[in-house]
């Protein structure tokens, strides 16, 4: 029992900032009067306190709720002084969440038991009867440290994902883009799931950013993930996170993309490439708003809006048994189709000047425009790689240009009609670029058919397209 039955007076120095979420504490002890004393001490200090009387109840509560700190007794069975029950519970809690501070307490404390508890991951050790001020001081310190560690983990993960992302301007003036603009304007402020369809490189991620920026979630992050590019072995870890020790290389806890997008939007690109087994797990999260990190039994509630994108025919994939129909229903509350660049040629001049300005500034080149013949080349080209290929073409042109105006030769579009006698003079990368462009042109941008014609997997073709800016 505590040394003082009367809790200390509440003061501004002992309360955590009232604007912050009240710290939530779990206390586990087999003696009811100890739990009552903890509640009497902590609740006036602004803490939310949950109490349980056994390790089994503690495990159950920890699996379904999040806490800022845990106080646990080391002995629960009558006439037991070994501390084994509490030490085992401590090890499980640390394995569940290594950032969660655990303070152990026992009436039978000794140095050896304290050392063992600290070795297993306890943040501090309290012997009953405790001193109120010391217990409060330990809790304040550990709660603040826990919140700092959580925030640091989240910021570090956000920085890794967002530092390389640059939001592109959504340029759309062609008549074929008017339905797209109308749909985005109408649906963006809602919470509806959106499925963006269209060929590879048509600007689906830019459209997703535009939807997010016009939504009520604009102040929160938008997290983009290429689900089609994730190996099946890391799919769950990337999307849902993992806890330390969940698998061989899990040396630390890792936050997943869904948690990073909390309160904001998650953009699931290439959703049509997700394997069936993973589709079921994705469906559960989208349906219930609940998920668990890999290796953890704790269920977390998440609040995210889902925008997905694909260049596949998902209804046909459902008919073929390659895509879950119930997942498609969840994803395409609203479906927006982005036309290929060859279907919106009116936008090519504006897009070209946008990329020209961007890369001229990036590479500090004094290039101010395109020669009329160069612009004509852009308008006549079929653009199997769509806007992404146009962007890569302008970037290359900026680097190759020797005057203040881009010439047709700077664009490198002549590679679409290679002469057989020149193949021996080309590098392997140039020949690969030619073959991929030809295959994409032949199948009108259909990556699956182009990959089959080239004898590649979809993933291998995507990697080459990314490598060559297609």
Locate 436 and state its tokens.
Answer: 């991929």
Contact 290, 300 (CB under 8 A): yes
Domain boundary among 339, 361, 384: 339
Q: Same domain, yes or no, for 89 and 197?
A: no
Could you say which DSSP state residue 294 is in?
Answer: B
Residue 451 to residue 458: CA distance in whole angstroms = 6
Q: Same domain, yes or no, for 297 and 253?
A: yes
Domain contains 392: no
Contact 268, 239 (CB under 8 A): no
Q: Same domain, yes or no, for 127 and 212?
A: no
pLDDT in tens, 85-125: 888 888 888 877 778 899 988 776 566 777 788 888 888 88
Average pLDDT on 151-163 reads: 55
Domain contains 298: yes
Q: Given this model, what pLDDT does residue 419 score?
A: 42
Q: Same domain, yes or no, for 189 and 116?
A: no
Number of domains into which the chain is organized? 3
Could you say which DSSP state residue 26 is in?
Answer: E
Confidence band of 469 (pLDDT split at 50, 70, 90): low
Residue 179 to residue 190: CA distance in whole angstroms = 18
- CATH code: domain of residue 115: 3.40.50.2300
Contact 115, 134 (CB under 8 A): no
pLDDT in tens, 2-60: 544 343 333 333 334 333 578 999 999 988 999 999 999 999 999 999 999 888 999 88
Domain boundary among 310, 339, 368: 339
Domain contains 189: yes
Positive or negative: CA dihedral 397, 398, 403, 406: positive
Domain contains 454: yes
Question: Which among 61, 56, 54, 136 is positioned nearest to 103, based on CA atoms?
Answer: 136
Residue 56 to residue 124: CA distance in whole angstroms = 22
Residue 434 to residue 415: CA distance in whole angstroms = 6
pLDDT in tens, 287-322: 999 988 888 878 888 999 999 999 989 999 999 999
Q: Same domain, yes or no, for 90 and 123?
A: yes
Alpha helices, DSSP H only, in 261-302?
276-288
What length is written for the chain?
470
Element (H, E) at 127: strand 124-127
Q: Same domain, yes or no, for 229 and 329?
A: yes
Q: Residue 352: exposed, middle, or buried by beta-carbon count in 10 A (0-12, 13-18, 19+)?
A: buried
Domain contains 168: no
Q: Same domain, yes or no, for 182 and 327?
A: yes
Domain boundary among 151, 184, 211: 151
- CATH code: domain of residue 271: 3.40.50.300
Distances 160 to 224, 255, 260 between C-alpha atoms, Å = 12, 12, 11
Domain contains 5: no
Q: Given this model, what pLDDT does residue 195 score?
A: 96
Q: Same domain, yes or no, for 124 and 187?
A: no
pLDDT in tens, 265-281: 999 999 998 888 899 99
Q: Same domain, yes or no, for 246 and 294?
A: yes
DSSP states of 319-362:
HTTSS-HHHHHHH-SEEEEPPPGGG-GGGHHHHHHHHHHHHHHH
- Does the global pTM surpass 0.85? no
Name the residue range of residue 456's domain: 418-470
Q: Same domain, yes or no, for 110 and 33?
A: yes
pLDDT in tens, 405-420: 999 999 988 644 444 4
Domain contains 115: yes
Question: Helices 32-42 and 132-162, interaxial angle, to 10°?
Answer: 70
Residue 177 to residue 101: CA distance in whole angstroms = 54
Query: What residues form DSSP beta bridges with 70?
Result: 26, 102
Query: What residues form DSSP beta bridges with 254?
Result: 242
Contact 266, 306 (CB under 8 A): yes
Residue 392 to residue 359: CA distance in whole angstroms = 10
Q: Same domain, yes or no, for 103 and 209?
A: no
Q: Same domain, yes or no, for 197 and 266?
A: yes
Contact 122, 90 (CB under 8 A): yes
Average pLDDT, the chain: 83
Positive or negative: CA dihedral 221, 361, 395, 429: negative
Domain contains 344: no
Question: Which among 302, 257, 286 is positioned nearest to 165, based on CA atoms?
Answer: 257
């Amino acid at each position: 029992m505590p040394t003082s039955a009367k809790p200390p007076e509440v003061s501004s120095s002992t309360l955590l900032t009232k604007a912050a979420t009240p710290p939530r504490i779990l206390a586990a002890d087999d003696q009811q009067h100890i739990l009552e004393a903890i509640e009497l001490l902590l609740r006036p200090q602004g803490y939310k306190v949950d109490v349980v009387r056994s390790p089994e109840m503690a495990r159950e509560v920890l699996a379904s709720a999040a806490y800022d700190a845990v106080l646990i007794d080391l002995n629960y069975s009558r006439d037991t002084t070994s501390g084994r029950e509490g030490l085992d519970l401590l090890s499980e809690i640390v394995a569940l969440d290594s950032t969660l501070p655990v303070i152990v307490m026992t009436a039978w404390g000794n140095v050896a038991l304290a050392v063992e508890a600290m070795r297993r991951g306890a943040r501090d050790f309290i012997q009953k009867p405790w001193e109120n001020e010391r217990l409060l001081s330990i809790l304040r310190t550990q709660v603040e440290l826990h919140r700092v560690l959580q925030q640091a983990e989240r910021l570090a993960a956000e920085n890794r994902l967002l530092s390389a992302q640059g939001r592109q301007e959504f340029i759309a003036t062609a008549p074929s883009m008017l339905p797209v603009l109308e749909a985005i304007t109408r649906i963006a402020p809602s919470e509806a799931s959106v499925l963006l369809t269209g060929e590879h490189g048509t600007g689906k991620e830019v459209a997703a950013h535009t939807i997010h920026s016009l939504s009520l979630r604009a102040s929160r992050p938008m997290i983009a993930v290429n689900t089609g590019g994730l190996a099946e072995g890391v799919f769950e870890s990337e999307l849902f996170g993992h806890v330390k020790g969940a698998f061989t290389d899990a040396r630390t806890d890792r936050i997943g993309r869904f948690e990073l997008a909390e309160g904001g939007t998650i953009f699931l690109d290439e959703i049509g490439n997700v394997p069936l087994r993973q589709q079921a797990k994705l469906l559960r999260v989208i349906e219930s708003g609940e998920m668990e990190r890999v290796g953890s039994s704790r269920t977390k509630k998440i609040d995210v809006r889902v925008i997905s994108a694909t260049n596949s025919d998902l209804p046909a994939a459902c008919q073929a048994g390659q895509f879950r129909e119930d997942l498609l229903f969840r994803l395409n509350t609203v479906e927006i189709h982005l036309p290929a660049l060859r279907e919106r040629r009116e936008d090519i001049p504006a897009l070209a000047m946008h990329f020209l300005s961007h890369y001229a500034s990036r590479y500090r080149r004094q290039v101010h425009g395109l020669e009329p013949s160069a612009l004509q080349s852009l308008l006549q080209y079929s653009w199997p790689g769509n806007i992404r290929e146009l962007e890569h073409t302008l970037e290359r042109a900026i680097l190759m240009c020797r005057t203040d105006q881009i010439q047709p030769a700077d664009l490198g579009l002549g590679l679409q009609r290679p002469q057989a006698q020149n193949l021996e003079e080309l590098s392997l990368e140039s020949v690969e670029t030619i073959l991929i462009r030809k295959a994409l042109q032949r199948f009108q941008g259909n990556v699956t058919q182009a990959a089959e014609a080239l004898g590649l997997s979809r993933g291998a073709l995507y990697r080459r397209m990314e490598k060559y800016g297609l």
